[in-house]
Structure 1
């Protein structure tokens, strides 16, 4: 690695890698993959919703997760993100096990998600929704209110967050809605808001649960453009979507679930030509 690709801390003498997202992806090992799921299972009483699911998601990728209704996709998402505690199996984020952690603990480690039905804070403005999302906020307290130096820290941080929130709203082209109450937005605008709020958390891995459901074609194109822009910057996405054209045209790798298990994995071409997938899900028309 050249000197231009490495910064050295003068005090510690340790080198900080400056590799690009593409270079990091090429160097990754099974223990350093952004997301790795091994033998994941979830039972609800006598019903097995997820049955020994294993897969990996590579750095900087847009990976699709598809399957018929009831295949276990949403339950898999819920187990990965801590909404449900798995009955069995393990989930790893950047080689660190996160199985069974609370959703906020997983989010603090850099794995966040959106929901099929956007969950905005309806009685707060769009701008306030974004400013609430970042981690490690100082916040107000009795001590900070009487000690000028500490209060200045809060004010400075809030100004920085406000500026960043405006930049994020501009990126998603919803800055004109900043002062609107989130509950007044259209379905598509709420999806954009949810994506913007996710970005404010500084995530490494983003799980998208049907982000295009109920979105008109214009906003759908805008959302996909933003997702590809973020992927080019090194973000990693796992993407549940029922629109096969979207999946086939945008995802480098596709995972197919059926009856709680992984039925097949591969490129769009692999999946199109997989007879098991055609029979179980895609149909002959594909």
Structure 2
């Protein structure tokens, strides 16, 4: 199975990019549904130019981020997926520790994106179990998994192109009482709906400021360039109230300036307790930024270890890296 998704640019011309925007036309999106905070964690948008450390308020009780007492919110055990006579994922087992940045690498056809799809409910496994925060989520629908705090991005953009950036963002928070028609029109509940929407709008603006795309709020998503869509997808991911984010090639098609910018956001969020599992083909990027690397080959786990251990593995060098890291 091919691991590389192809995406096409929107029919509308992209709006003018900033120096940090990408020239590429590939993009990604996330399942929709939640707020920008996890537990008591909140986003403080006191200033669009504020340092990243001031924009995400840590909750030490929920996300300690210390080596001591770390647990694995995501546990994958014996995952197997067959398509007819083809086994795309074969007995894959690993876990992802809280507050870490883990890379998942492998050549096209290794099973990386299929593994992501199995974890997030896009596909049902033939065998195996996925646990999130101790709960068996195997076979749940994608929106049910996202609502539990496990979010993902996609290789192909899935924004609602005929809606603005702000409108796309406002769709993300879960538990919106205004989605109920009777609550929206009944006098006794309309006040609560307006109050919640006001709070959500404030959070949306804070996240837009965090990713420095507030100037695009009124632009139609279909007019965004590939680089701008990358920023939008990350902003929406943060609004899904995630404990763990699975990022499927988040740097594909972006220029070096935007890549650096996205990495800064990811590292800052990781330091604040967010957990990341990233599929990426850029070997240097993975080796220089991830604490742990999982290598897949022909649907199976070939090697799981630190970047140094991966670089020194003859199996990896021979099977995937072509003799040189």
Distance across 1 between alignment mates of 2:179 and 2:92: 44
Shift of 1:103: 0.3
Summarize the Cα distance change of 1:22–1:125 in structure 2 as closer, same or farther, 3 Å threshold.
same
Partner of 2:68: 26
Shift of 1:142: 4.6
Distance across 2 between alignment mates of 1:21 and 1:172: 24
Pick from 82, 87, 112 the counterpart of residue 43 of structure 1.
82
Larger radius of gyration, structure 1 or 2? 1
C-alpha contact (below 8 Å) 1:41/1:52 kept by paired residues:
yes
Distance across 2 between alignment mates of 1:58 and 1:143: 43
TM-score between the two structures when normalised by the length of structure 1: 0.90
Summarize the Cα distance change of 1:258–1:126 in structure 2 as closer, same or farther, 3 Å threshold.
same
**Structure 1 gap segments, 5+ residues each:** 1-15
Pick from 191, 204, 227 the counterpart of residue 152 of structure 1.
191
C-alpha contact (below 8 Å) 2:77/2:91 kept by paired residues:
yes
Map 1:1-286 → 2, pairs under 5 A:
18=61, 21-23=64-66, 26-29=68-71, 33-286=72-325
C-alpha contact (below 8 Å) 1:140/1:154 kept by paired residues:
no
Q: In structure 1, the residue corresponding to 2:273 is in which secondary structure?
A: coil
Distance across 1 between alignment mates of 2:186 and 2:275: 42
Distance across 2 between alignment mates of 1:20 and 1:73: 27
Partner of 2:56: none
**Cα deviation code 1:184-227 (max 9, x no counterpart):** 11111101101101111110010000000011111111111111
Larger deviation, residues 253-262 vs 121-130: 121-130
TM-score between the two structures when normalised by the length of structure 2: 0.79
**Structure 2 gap segments, 5+ residues each:** 1-58
C-alpha contact (below 8 Å) 1:116/1:211 kept by paired residues:
yes
Figure out how many residues of one structure are paired with residues of the other and give that number.
Answer: 267
The structure with more helix, counted as a fraction of residues:
1
Partner of 2:14: none
Shift of 1:27: 1.4
